[in-house]
Structure 1
Amino acid sequence: MTGKTHILGGIAASLAVAHTANENPLIMVGAGIAGALLPDICHSGSMIGKRFPILSRIINLIFGHRTFTHSLLFLVLASFLIDRFFPNDVLKYGLLTGMISHYILDMGTKRGIKLFFPLNLTVRFPLTIRTGSKVENLIFSILTLVSFYFGYQALSWYGVGL
């Protein structure tokens, strides 16, 4: 998936969680966007990889793309580090929600992800799409609608005037 689709996936997922859990939607969305971009730190051409090119190249050299940073192990490690350095539940849930949305979106591509890294097992959905295709654009449109719906619900419920 492209960066813009990952961002919108993080927004939609974090707004849904904010609404369901009655948490601050603004913090959740910010953290959700960051979490949605974080797994692609292993790809120097990604949005986050371009921001941190040296770190991105090192991670890619050690692990490759869509392996460690797209795994449950990375999710657990990120959760531990967030608890240790940023003990804020809303921030933690937003980041993890964004990361999970990234994983789900990438499981919908032909390449899939190594969800159970270090096991060399690729996880992908039975029906997959090509990154940047018309189907991805359709998914982007659906995520936009979902974001508007849950954004309105979360902001209204949380008491932010519209």
Structure 2
Amino acid sequence: MTGNTHIVGGIAASLAYAQFTNHDPILMLGAGVIGALLPDICHSGSTVGRKLPLLSKFINGVFGHRTFTHSLLFLVLIAMLLNAFIPNEAVKAGFLVGMVSHYVLDMATKNGIKLLFPLRMTVRFPVTTKTGGTVEKVVFSILTLMSFYFGYEALVDYL
């Protein structure tokens, strides 16, 4: 999936999660977007890869794309770091929900992800799509509508 789809996926997922947990939706939203972009640190052309090019190239050189940073192992390591250094539950939850949304969206692509890294098994859904294709545009539109819905609901509940 493209960066924009990951962003809107992180927004939709974090706002939906905020709706069900009563976490601060603004904090969840910001953390969700960052979390949704982080797994692509392994790709130097990604949004986060362009911001941190040396780290991106290093990670890609060691692990490749859609391996370690798209795995449950990476998710657990990030969760441990967040628990150690971030006291706010909404930020931690938003970050992790954003990462999970990234994983789910990439599992819907033909390349899938190495969710169980270091095992070499690729995980993808039975029906997949091409990154940047028409189906992704439909997914982007649906996630955008979901973002507006959950954003409105969160705003109403928050105020």
Normalised-by-shorter TM-score class:
over 0.9
AA aligned to 1:73 is L
TM-score, normalisation: structure 2: 0.99
TM-score, normalisation: structure 1: 0.97
Whole-Å Cα distance in 2 between the matches of residues 158 and 21 of structure 1? Answer: 12
Report runs of 4+ in structure 1 exceeding 4 Å deviation: none
Q: Residue in 2 aligned with 1:78? A: 78
What's the offset of the Cα at 1:88?
A: 1.5
Q: Residue in 1 aligned with 2:39? A: 39
Q: CA RMSD in A?
A: 0.5
Whole-Å Cα distance in 2 between the matches of residues 101 and 45 of structure 1? Answer: 20
What's the offset of the Cα at 1:79?
A: 0.3
| 8 Å contact from structure 1 (residues 23, 158) kept in 2 | no
Matched, 1:20 2:20: yes
Matched, 1:123 2:117: no
| Sequence identity percentage | 65
Q: Residue in 2 aligned with 1:137? A: 137
Q: Residue in 1 aligned with 2:63? A: 63
Whole-Å Cα distance in 2 between the matches of residues 81 and 88 of structure 1? Answer: 13
Whole-Å Cα distance in 2 between the matches of residues 71 and 87 of structure 1? Answer: 24
What's the offset of the Cα at 1:41?
A: 0.1
AA aligned to 1:29 is L
AA aligned to 1:156 is V
What's the offset of the Cα at 1:155?
A: 1.0
Whole-Å Cα distance in 2 between the matches of residues 124 and 52 of structure 1? Answer: 28
Structure 1: gaps of 5 or more residues: none
Aligned residues between the structures: 159
